[in-house]
């Protein structure tokens, strides 16, 4: 069985595609690509079909990651499709929970920073309206959170590293 992760931010052009691509990189390195799949989405429809933000891609490239994909909006069907849904900030988290009126999927929705082991921020800040340093900070924060998340998934799901 494949374990499926969905990363969610507002527009799906900065934070969530960065988390998806960083996680895919770490999954490849761990030899787990056949066991874990990743995707990303936005809570809004602002950027549907757009590639990741060029400034975010520049910051990711400095760490050896190329951001690929196109923005899409989160749908209620995603609750069924994914094992774990990771919100970048509290607003995204609350937006996702509001779509789950029955409360049936609440255990699937978590904050991304819950998996950080080195950083103390509780939310991944949106770098969209800021400068270059904000994009670099997000990449560093997401590397930390993705490493912690990968360790958690491997432990919780008892995946065998190759």
**95-150 tens-digit pLDDT:** 999 999 999 999 999 999 999 999 999 999 999 999 999 999 999 999 999 999 99
- How many separate domains does the chain show? 1
CB-count burial class (<10 Å; 0-12, 13-18, 19+) for 99: middle
Q: Is residue 162 part of a domain?
A: no
CB-count burial class (<10 Å; 0-12, 13-18, 19+) for 75: exposed
Q: Which ranges of 4-162 does DSSP label H, i.e. alpha helix? A: 15-30, 54-61, 77-81, 90-99, 132-157
Q: Is residue 161 part of a domain?
A: no
- For the annotated catalytic residues, the residue numbers are 9, 15, 126
Domain that holds residue 140: 3-156
**27-69 tens-digit pLDDT:** 999 999 999 999 999 999 999 999 999 999 999 999 999 999 9
CATH of the domain at 107: 3.40.50.2300
Is the pTM higher than 0.95? yes
């Amino acid at each position: 069985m494949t374990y499926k992760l969905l990363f969610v931010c507002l527009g799906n052009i900065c934070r969530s595609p960065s988390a998806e691509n960083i996680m895919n990189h770490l999954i490849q390195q761990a030899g787990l690509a056949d066991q874990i799949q990743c995707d990303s989405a936005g809570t809004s429809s602002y950027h549907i079909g757009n590639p990741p933000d060029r400034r975010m891609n520049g910051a990711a490239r400095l760490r050896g990651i190329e951001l690929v994909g196109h923005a899409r909006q989160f749908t209620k069907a995603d609750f069924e499709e994914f094992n774990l849904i990771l919100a970048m900030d509290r607003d995204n988290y609350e937006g996702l929970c509001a779509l789950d009126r029955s409360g049936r999927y609440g255990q699937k929705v978590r904050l991304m920073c819950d998996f950080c082991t080195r950083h103390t921020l509780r939310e991944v800040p949106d770098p969209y309206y800021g400068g270059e340093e904000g994009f670099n900070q997000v990449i560093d924060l997401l590397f930390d959170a993705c490493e912690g998340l990968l360790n958690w998934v491997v432990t919780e799901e008892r995946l065998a590293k190759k």
